[in-house]
Structure 1
Amino acid sequence: MDGFIGEFFGTMILILLGAGTGASISLNKAYAKGQGWLFVCISWGMAVTMGVYVAGALGSDGHLNPAVTIPFALFGMFPWSEVLPYLAGQFLGAFVGAALVIIQFAPHFKESKGEESGNSVGIFATRPAIKSSLFNFISEVIATFAFVFILVNLGNFTVGLKPFIVGMLIVVIGSALGSTTGFAINPARDWGPRLAYTLLPVPNGGSGEWWYSWVPMCGPLVGGAIAVGLKTIL
């Protein structure tokens, strides 16, 4: 139960702060509207840091990401009995975090009609800069491989300053590799908020763009599995 609780609240904080950044830079009359990519990467990095701290304090390993949990289990680094509670916490926490962002920014969604105003699923989920199914998938594989391979060499990443290091890792992954697809590197981080944007009454909300959703689901899982598999043989 601690695993579910930690992953739920840790991922909720991750998405509340991360998707909150997306709303802040996108929606009309928000003070941060128009901020650039570095702002996004730093803010998401700090969102991950705070999520990992919360998750660790509440008893989980701070995965916050199926592309960590499933590969760890595949290669014997995490018990299979904990996989479903962790995944449930991650996806539900991401959904609730996105719901809180919708509430927080409701007046700004009302002031933002249509995608040209910034009101789109991109506030919550990832979208490709150039639509190319193959290369979008490869981008997510490479970015997630780099993220998880570095992560798996950090040891216990919930203690001391390691969550901050994980956050800095997110910053550099985003700035170096994330500008092609928005660096999901995490199926729950994408699908939970995408579902919230689709199902909840977002003022002036648009399409959830589910045609793309297989990329942030499959790419990170493949990249994570390659990273953890490589670590086990080195």
Structure 2
Amino acid sequence: MDTSIGLQFLGEILGTFILILFGGGVVAGVVLDKTKATGAGWVVITIAWGLAVAMGAYVSGYLSLAHLNPALTIGLAAAGNFPWADVPAYVGGQFIGAFLGATVVWLHYYPHWKATKDQGAKLGVFATGPAIRHYTSNVFGEVVGTFALVFGILSFGANVNIGAGYNPLIVGALIVVIGMSLGGTTGYALNPARDLGPRIMHALLPISGKGGSDWAYAWVPVIGPLLGATIAATAYKAIINHEVSAWLFVSIIVLVIVEFIAMSADKKAGNN
């Protein structure tokens, strides 16, 4: 990038803010009571989330690399395609943008929180949750979905037939198909800032009638995307550039360890 790291930091804030504003906004419109979009359904949510990612990338793309996702940033750094020194600024900007976006969604739908009795629906505006709580499968689902996202993004960037100006829309389409095909199990976080940032705001904001923030599950949409993105970025480099990074083996080993821990947690909780 020709811009300073300060401007890139600002770009990640703005882009992630837009991503959460539109993404969290559509979920609020669909699941909260007495909105004009109440009950519009999963298809509306998945399409709007894809467009939210695209719009966020367009907003930030002239300032930063429009990662908008700590998993993508860290995965690219592990693959040697992004400087580790810039990771804190990018990840910090992404979380700040997520905090701001979640707060504005809360304010925008302010009277609807009181009108909605379902505490799970209120949390769902801010953070993902599993359709069936089975940590082993939930982690695997987030890894697979994020792998598909990052491998797809890298493939789009290498495809000379796609104009650079269309890349955000293509990535948005990828988000839509991931949501429709794979997202029904966990809500397809794919992005630690997208899930953890708003989850923190759910815990902090005085939301009328809210319940708990489900911290027992919060590690899944953080660890899963980080591992999926790192495996995807390093595997892509190994396949396309024939450069094998130690991070590929480390991330696979960590995934195996995490899955064994998840299996133990499922067994203890009776999640068979």
TM-score bracket relative to the smaller structure: over 0.9
Does the C-alpha gap of structure 1 residues 48 and 26 become closer, same or farther in structure 2, counting only changes over 3 Å? same
1:68 maps to 2:72: yes
Give the AA of the match of 2:115. E
User: Is the Cα contact below 8 Å between 2:15 and 2:60 reproduced in 1?
Assistant: yes
Alignment match of 2:165 (pick from 146, 160, 167): 160
1:127 matched to which residue of 2? 129
2:95 matched to which residue of 1? 91
1:53 maps to 2:55: no
Give the AA of the match of 2:85. S
1:23 maps to 2:28: yes
- Deviations for 1:166-220, whole angstroms, at most 9, x for unmatched residues? 1001000100111100000000000011011110111112211111010000000
Runs of 4+ in 1 over 3 A off after TM superposition: 156-159
Give the AA of the match of 1:128. P
Unaligned runs of 5+ in 1: none
Alignment match of 1:80 (pick from 77, 84, 93): 84
Give the AA of the match of 2:139. F
**Whole-Å separation in 2 of the counterparts to 1:193 and 1:3:** 22
Does the C-alpha gap of structure 1 residues 114 and 158 become closer, same or farther in structure 2, counting only changes over 3 Å? farther
Which one has more relative contact order, counting CA pairs under 8 Å at least 6 apart? 1
1:34 matched to which residue of 2? 39
User: Is the Cα contact below 8 Å between 2:71 and 2:192 reproduced in 1?
Assistant: yes
**Whole-Å separation in 1 of the counterparts to 2:127 and 2:15:** 18
Deviation at 1:133, TM superposition (A): 0.7
User: Is the Cα contact below 8 Å between 2:157 and 2:167 reproduced in 1?
Assistant: no
User: Is the Cα contact below 8 Å between 2:32 and 2:122 reproduced in 1?
Assistant: no
Residues 1-234 of structure 1 mapped to structure 2, 5 A cutoff? 1-57=6-62, 59-115=63-119, 119-155=121-157, 159-234=164-239
Q: Secondary structure at the match of 2:165?
A: coil
**Whole-Å separation in 2 of the counterparts to 1:126 and 1:159:** 31
**Whole-Å separation in 1 of the counterparts to 2:79 and 2:191:** 18
**Whole-Å separation in 2 of the counterparts to 1:120 and 1:210:** 15
**Whole-Å separation in 2 of the counterparts to 1:35 and 1:114:** 17
User: Is the Cα contact below 8 Å between 1:8 and 1:93 reproduced in 2?
Assistant: yes
Q: Secondary structure at the match of 1:155?
A: helix
Deviation at 1:120, TM superposition (A): 2.4
User: Is the Cα contact below 8 Å between 1:56 and 1:158 reproduced in 2?
Assistant: no
User: Is the Cα contact below 8 Å between 1:119 and 1:205 reproduced in 2?
Assistant: no
TM-score calculated relative to the size of structure 2: 0.82
Does the C-alpha gap of structure 1 residues 144 and 86 become closer, same or farther in structure 2, counting only changes over 3 Å? same
Q: How many residues align?
A: 231
User: Is the Cα contact below 8 Å between 1:24 and 1:31 reproduced in 2?
Assistant: yes
Higher Cα radius of gyration: 2
Deviation at 1:158, TM superposition (A): 9.9
User: Is the Cα contact below 8 Å between 2:141 and 2:185 reproduced in 1?
Assistant: yes
Does the C-alpha gap of structure 1 residues 88 and 203 become closer, same or farther in structure 2, counting only changes over 3 Å? same
